[in-house]
Structure 1
């Protein structure tokens, strides 16, 4: 779980009558797993319901045009062209029941407010910078930041320069968190974790909004447009453990070994049936007999997908910045001959 945070004004006790400047404030539980999982309490100036003029939104059908044979593949993400905004222009390259993987190369700024009601989102800012605006507040981000957006967050991403930005987009059906093994019994990150709580940034100032507004909700593969009587960014405060965070990959402490260490040493986040690893510059294996390339391996329980951000990858030829490689579970893979 994320560390407990509070921002703005909140009452002394949960679920008690609360006023701000003489006006009654409305409490909203923003929670996972019914009423038993991690949650935050949000305090609105207006009732958070009040949706009307419900209408069908744009299609979100990302079913593959045809089921491809299961083979290892080099997907040339660097050939994709700009389209749409950071939400509507997402171009998916790999999809299953647990995760969607794609790129956003926006051609324009995002205008509407958007809610992903079916997935947590992890965005990796390959190039570009801007601010994530949400009901939890504003969160600036920059190049090589991971931005984690919990499902149900009402957001708009304001890029300083949409054109030229490149964002790796992951939508995950499960709850995105740090790996369990990095945490002590009380939830604190341990000395053995490759980062600490200090490395994660969360909103520091509340956003404000007023009046009626249109929100796009994605739920179960369908986008629906809602007109809200009141802007969802009307909070006087919130507290809890569900909120957006940003983490810059250059704050990840690399792991190295005398011989090659496996990918779990580089794990950054976890979700149901998914691990996200970050291969950052590190000291090479130093034993005189070390093999300076990954050993051949079979992922018997998962596929493996790599996205190439920068630098050279010694184990594979023809890779460019923006490439994806997909390695099918159940079959061995490893360095290419002559790499």
Structure 2
């Protein structure tokens, strides 16, 4: 696919954006005029309830060539049995520490949707609580196939291969090191910009992702509003035979279309896809001793009904300086109420120097103990504590208050590292009651 030379973006997280692909396509006097310019149809898209508070309300008015209601009847679509929805019932949740290698490249043609594989999920999509975590591995573009997800918002974390995400509201080009978020219900197509692509996908059943509060950090730091990029209006006026796949209440359906659904000529609103370059995250860290909780690395959060306890936190571990004095610098050994699913985009994660590879993942559920492997502990305990720059690394975490249930594929597949628990077997007892501090 040829890269567009004119791909532009609007900036500002959660702002009311307005954009038009044709001059004066946006109505001026009201959102739903009696006659829309260019013979377009007005259609509102809402990803929150009508009565949600103003600062949380997300809705967008679209002005499109055809209303979305112009489509065929849905039929069951059963071409990807590895894509699952919470609650997962094949196996019980486990307190065991789990780790997986990367998903292998598909041997048969697979696009972004047919190449999805569920690794774990929690909550219940029907109650709009929890998340699901999938891996994707694709070797072809979606071409005449489109998709929307009625079960949740989608957070895409590319690991290898650039993507062009063509949505109803415009196009987003994302590469490893970027993320993209697609609101619940938005139709889109994923085109590959390289021979193959792979990465991670978090399906958020709960409240839409937003920026975390900065607390005592104050006005600056973390992810800045201005660095989030939204598409400008772009449309396809194509007729032919197309397929629209829908994920609805845990089931996949497909219907026929006689046109491309990406036919929005203009739009205005607060609910839209966006992208973010993770290198723009302003890392906050200690300049004295100890290191703060990993919450200081939170890029986006989906709040639950309990303040301060997230349905989903998206946390990253990017390049940064480590300068803490008299401190064990890797992540400490810990048990906590939140369940942690980790992935690695590139480089080496400082707590796991062996076995945790780019494209791989790990799961440490609620109260399951974890921390540095034996070799990392030894090296960190004996290190000369000078300022050190962590370069060429990007790990992330999908953290949730709900316990993740691994899929049957995740537990039985060859990509599961069944000897993961042995990475701590080399930790020896050093206790000596006669040794003075």
Taking the TM superposition and a 5 Å limit, the aligned residue runs for 1:292-303 are: 292-300=329-337, 302-303=338-339
**Offset at residue 50 of structure 1 (A):** 2.3
Taking the TM superposition and a 5 Å limit, the aligned residue runs for 1:36-55 are: 36=51, 37-55=57-75
The one-character-per-residue Cα deviations of 1:245-273 (angstroms, maximum 9, x if unpaired) are 11111111122213212111000111241
**Offset at residue 293 of structure 1 (A):** 1.9
Question: Which deviates further from its counterpart, 232-241 or 203-212?
Answer: 203-212
**Among candidates 125, 139, 148, match of residue 107 of structure 1:** 139
Question: Which deviates further from its counterpart, 247-256 or 222-231?
Answer: 222-231
Q: Taking structure 1 as reference, are residues 125 and 90 closer, same or farther at Cα in structure 2, changes over 3 Å only?
A: same
Runs of 4+ in 1 over 4 A off after TM superposition: none
Which residues of structure 1 form unaligned runs of 5+? 184-189
The CA distance in 2 between the partners of 1:148 and 1:156, in whole Å, is: 13
**Which residue number corresponds to residue 187 of structure 1?**
none
The CA distance in 1 between the partners of 2:32 and 2:15, in whole Å, is: 21
**Which residue number corresponds to residue 27 of structure 2?**
11
Q: State whether structure 2 residue 198 is matched by structure 1 residue 166.
A: yes
Q: Taking structure 1 as reference, are residues 231 and 312 closer, same or farther at Cα in structure 2, changes over 3 Å only?
A: closer
Q: State whether structure 2 residue 348 is matched by structure 1 residue 312.
A: yes
8 Å Cα contact 2:237-2:263 kept in structure 1: yes
Taking the TM superposition and a 5 Å limit, the aligned residue runs for 1:249-264 are: 249-257=278-286, 258=288, 259-264=290-295
**Which residue number corresponds to residue 179 of structure 1?**
211
Q: State whether structure 2 residue 45 is matched by structure 1 residue 30.
A: yes
Q: Taking structure 1 as reference, are residues 38 and 218 closer, same or farther at Cα in structure 2, changes over 3 Å only?
A: same
The CA distance in 2 between the partners of 1:32 and 1:314, in whole Å, is: 38
The CA distance in 2 between the partners of 1:44 and 1:238, in whole Å, is: 9
The CA distance in 2 between the partners of 1:336 and 1:93, in whole Å, is: 23
8 Å Cα contact 2:95-2:368 kept in structure 1: no
Q: Taking structure 1 as reference, are residues 275 and 238 closer, same or farther at Cα in structure 2, changes over 3 Å only?
A: same
8 Å Cα contact 1:11-1:18 kept in structure 2: no
**Offset at residue 126 of structure 1 (A):** 1.2
Question: Which deviates further from its counterpart, 11-20 or 55-64?
Answer: 55-64
8 Å Cα contact 1:127-1:167 kept in structure 2: yes
**Which residue number corresponds to residue 425 of structure 2?**
none
8 Å Cα contact 2:188-2:262 kept in structure 1: no
8 Å Cα contact 1:127-1:144 kept in structure 2: no
**Offset at residue 162 of structure 1 (A):** 4.0
**Offset at residue 239 of structure 1 (A):** 0.5
**Offset at residue 106 of structure 1 (A):** 0.6
User: Which secondary structure state, in structure 2, belongs to the residue aligned with residue 157 of structure 1?
Assistant: strand
Which residues of structure 2 form unaligned runs of 5+? 1-12, 52-56, 124-129, 305-310, 377-437
The CA distance in 1 between the partners of 2:120 and 2:104, in whole Å, is: 14
The CA distance in 1 between the partners of 2:100 and 2:89, in whole Å, is: 15
Normalising by the residue count of structure 1, what TM-score does the alignment of the two structures yield?
0.89
The CA distance in 2 between the partners of 1:126 and 1:47, in whole Å, is: 35
The CA distance in 2 between the partners of 1:238 and 1:338, in whole Å, is: 54
**Among candidates 251, 263, 268, match of residue 234 of structure 1:** 263
**Which residue number corresponds to residue 96 of structure 2?**
71
**Offset at residue 68 of structure 1 (A):** 5.3
**Which residue number corresponds to residue 364 of structure 2?**
327
The CA distance in 2 between the partners of 1:139 and 1:278, in whole Å, is: 21
User: Which secondary structure state, in structure 2, belongs to the residue aligned with residue 153 of structure 1?
Assistant: coil
**Which residue number corresponds to residue 374 of structure 2?**
337
The CA distance in 2 between the partners of 1:206 and 1:15, in whole Å, is: 20
**Offset at residue 315 of structure 1 (A):** 2.0
The one-character-per-residue Cα deviations of 1:24-43 (angstroms, maximum 9, x if unpaired) are x3211111333123111111
